Chain A
């Protein structure tokens, strides 16, 4: 009974904490609909629904992420980077490789991260908050300019030239195998960072 009461009290809080992130996924889904990209829209749409169900307590949540051998992860990422550098862009091989990476990364992201080695102090919390605000500001400016460029560039070829989205700037660069290899390595390195970080607070 106590558990049920506790769950009922914490559920609205879980919703409040998840709501901004669910909104972000829904907004990206909307952009993909405007782009007329059904696969991309379906991925972000499915993510939105899954996170909403999770925030409502309808999905299992309690398993902790298994220990990941960093050497094995780096070896696997290196193999995928070689495949992505050599495989033609927009081809089947690249599609299979990127899809496989996504499935593994999402499975790992679903688990609970391990507990932090030390409790959070107020100084550390303040430093993390300041860093998060700084990074969020950079990301927000980038997203707004990208969105503006995307919307303006949708109109005519001239407008697209005047308002280049990041995709338009990087697209010709990535046709070169060397730059594609650089992109693949940077993308996979960031992915390794994302699936291996995350620590639950000791005092949570």
Chain B
């Protein structure tokens, strides 16, 4: 199960790279990351949510408790 879980994380990473690179091919007809961010971040609610979550990633991995102990030991 561990390998399956890690495999899904890696697939998501590959999918993100494909979306980022594929957007530069006109035949794919999808917006580049910067174009999409310009549209999504135009409104305050998504802007604040995405910035708060981004900030929390830095906090979580560099400052706060990164790994939680199991409840049942």
B-contact bits for A31-47, CB 8 A (1 contact / 0 none): 00001110110011001
CB distance A156 to B73 under 8 Å? Answer: yes
Within 8 A of B (CB), among A76-121: 84, 89-91, 94-95, 98-99, 101-102, 105-106, 109-110, 112-113, 116, 120
The interface residues of chain B lying within 8 Å CB-to-CB of A167 are 60-61, 66-67
Give CA–CA (A146, B38) in the complex, Å.
27
Task: Choose from A24, A109, A128, A184 the contact partner of B62 (Cβ within 8 Å).
Answer: A184
Give CA–CA (A113, B71) in the complex, Å.
44
CB distance B48 to A106 under 8 Å? Answer: yes
The interface residues of chain B lying within 8 Å CB-to-CB of A127 are 29-31, 35
Task: Choose from A17, A21, A37, A84 the contact partner of B65 (Cβ within 8 Å).
Answer: A37
The interface residues of chain B lying within 8 Å CB-to-CB of A198 are 37-38, 40-42, 47
B-contact bits for A126-141, CB 8 A (1 contact / 0 none): 1110111011011001
Question: Is A6 an interface residue, CB under 8 A from the partner?
Answer: no
Give CA–CA (A25, B31) in the complex, Å.
26
Looking at B16, B43, B49, which has the most chain A CB atoms within 10 Å of its CB?
B49
Give CA–CA (A55, B62) in the complex, Å.
32
Give CA–CA (A20, B9) in the complex, Å.
24
Report the contact-size class of chain B (Cβ under 8 Å from the partner): 35 or more
Interface of B (DSSP majority class): helix
CB distance B30 to A131 under 8 Å? Answer: yes
CB distance A138 to B52 under 8 Å? Answer: no
Task: Choose from A51, A124, A159, A204 the contact partner of B70 (Cβ within 8 Å).
Answer: A159
Question: Is B57 an interface residue, CB under 8 A from the partner?
Answer: yes
CB distance A130 to B59 under 8 Å? Answer: no
The interface residues of chain A lying within 8 Å CB-to-CB of B59 are 40, 43, 98-99, 102
Give CA–CA (A191, B4) in the complex, Å.
31
The interface residues of chain A lying within 8 Å CB-to-CB of B65 are 35, 37, 90
Given contacts A102-B55, A194-B41, contact A128 B19 (CB under 8 A): no
CB distance A101 to B53 under 8 Å? Answer: no
Closest to A158 in B: B70
Given contacts A24-B49, A194-B37, A198-B37, contact A101 B55 (CB under 8 A): yes
Q: What are the 3 closest A-B residue pairs judged by CB atoms, nearest first?
A: A198-B41, A18-B45, A21-B45
